[in-house]
Amino acid sequence: MKTSIRLAVTGVAVISVAAAAFLGWRFACEVLAPPPLAKPRIPLPSVLPTVTVDIPLPSGSDPDSDGIKIATFLGNETRRFYGVGPVPERLELIWKHPIGGGLTGGTARSAAATPPAGVPKGMVKWYGTGWTGQPALVRENGKLYLLVGGFDHDLVKIDAETGKEVWSYEFDDVIKGSPTVFEDPAAPGDPSRYVVMVGSRRGFPRSIQAPDIAPYRAVSYATGKELWRLPVPRTKSYSRDADGSGFVMDGVAYIGVESGNMYRIDPFHTVSWRGYRAPKVLSEAVLLGDERSASHGGNLVLESSPALLGDRVYVASGAGHVYGLDKDTLAVEWDCYIGSDMDGTIAVTRDGHLLVPVEKQYIKGKGGLMKLDPAKEPGSALEWFLPTGNRSFADWEGGVIGSPCVNDEADPAGDKPALAACSAIDGKLYVVSQDALADKTVTGPNLEKGLPTPVVVFTDDIGGAISTPIMVDDHIVAAGYGATVTVYRIAYTPGADGPGVALKTRSGQTVSVSVKRVARFAGGGSYESTPIVWQGRIYIGSRDGSLYCIGDPDGQPSGAEPATP
């Protein structure tokens, strides 16, 4: 498989470096691409103004009204809304809520070890919250409430002011993903109109062959009572867990589960299933790759959360593909093969591109972050590739396991350069330009030569992370295995002579961009979960067994000069 990629690139060595870069990527996708789809692809224009202009502001953009504020992992269906500022530049503990821990199935390595007292062989006990673990947020009667899933098997509703639990619903296993909250338009005009859905692991020590595995569930936001559960089938994938976070659009839910199944469901109409209620499935796709995924064995897991761009749902798969699915039928219309196990979630940028995290697994080159243009054929879609360093850490070898963030929602006027950030297994936080290319080229994930790479604005060592950093206002919040939560301030200085890196805005203005660490919270343990920010507070779960609310207890406004961290 990878030999044919190398030969294709070598065969065009006499042309220019830039041309070789794009042809090398084109050959990697086209030579190895599956046969043409029976359904003809509907071409998209190279520029997508209607997509970027007509997307409404996130529902949480008005912080003072009641309603759903942060609806799902990374905010909404574009996966690029992370909260409302100010972002605190003084980080102290406001409260912490005990999540505790719970049993789940271990890896082959942990199963072979002697378990701690009270833990059955083959099982492990995890504490706190994990990947992705981001809270959802609702404002109800003027008060904020968090929805959080934890390793204690519980989905909980928490008073965001006090950290006190309102209700809990127990799953069969640990919850790794982020809850999704949506509104039932037929329900009365009170909190009963909201529904919360989230997935868990399959329910260890239950056999993967068990017929009743249904880890993705919906409960009432008002009471915490179960409404339905979605069965996860047995496939060639070695998992029947549900880590990804769905989104709801026009009364229809889009959900991916680790069997490789992608669902479009009606969350308000249910059918009987094994004594429970299950949602009505409207469309379904099975995304397990093709013959090129043979090297993955059963690791064909669909862990990422789907994202919406125009009339397509995009999702990265463990089978090595970035899929573009028809929004109504879930038929595959666009298929870009990269080859890596890809667990992180795609971010849809305001100008209609996809930022795709790539893990260092099943590929000869490095993992990192990739920008694709889905308006082009897959073989021509690459805009740039940011390679990150290789590093053996836990079960990973490098690349980006989490997801990228962007400053698009923090810059509605478009008068700042477009930025993206990601945290990598190599230990670094990377901040890059979405648009500007460096005056060098890099080697691609499958050893493609001469690929464009973005201008790097800033890097910092955060100890490695699978947590996703977030951008709110002119700040970045990042956390990871360095056991800290760090706040960075982004400075945008007009002209090319300011501090940092000179970049262009999309209106053609030159702005100098610099990034500086301004606060750090060293409480708690390591962090795998993604934070949110809401009006001076940061909420994030830790692997130490707690959910943290941190910020300035005196309400110091963002932008004031902080004490030296």
Pairing of strands 312-316, 321-326: antiparallel
- Give the chain's largest Cα–Cα span: 68
Torsion angle in degrees (nearest 10) through CA of 40, 46, 49, 52: 80
| Helix-helix angle 2-10:17-30, to 10 degrees | 150
Q: What residues of the chain score a pLDDT lower than 50?
A: 1-56, 556-565
Tell me how far CA of residue 181 lies from CA of 73, 139, 143, 307, 418, in angstroms: 10, 12, 16, 16, 29
Please state the separation of Cα 391 from the chain's center in Å. 21
Q: What is the pLDDT of residues 120-176, one digit of tens each?
A: 888 999 999 999 999 999 999 999 999 999 999 999 999 999 999 999 999 999 999
Handedness of CA 293, 299, 301, 303 (dihedral sign): negative
Pairwise CA distance, residues 499 & 491, whole Å:
8
Determine the pLDDT at residue 112. Answer: 56
Determine the pLDDT at residue 60. Answer: 63
Determine the pLDDT at residue 61. Answer: 63
Pairwise CA distance, residues 385 & 340, whole Å:
14
Contact, 527 vs 540, CB < 8 A?
yes
Share of the chain above pLDDT 70, in %: 86
What is the DSSP-derived secondary structure letter of residue 301?
-
Nearest residue to 457 via CA among 494, 506, 410, 417: 417
Pairwise CA distance, residues 506 & 416, whole Å:
8
Residues 6+ apart with CB under 8 A from 497: 512
Domain ranges within the chain, ordered by starting residue: 2-551
| CATH number of this structure's domain 2-551 | 2.130.10.10
Determine the pLDDT at residue 294. Answer: 93
Nearest residue to 257 via CA among 298, 308, 315: 315
Determine the pLDDT at residue 13. Answer: 30
Residue type (1 letter), 257 = V
Q: Which two tokens stand for residue 522?
A: 């060293």
At 326, which helix (H) or strand (E)? Answer: strand 321-326
- Residue 61 backbone dihedrals phi, psi, to 5 degrees: -70, -20
Determine the pLDDT at residue 364. Answer: 97
> How much is the CA Rg of the chain, to the nearest whole Å?
22
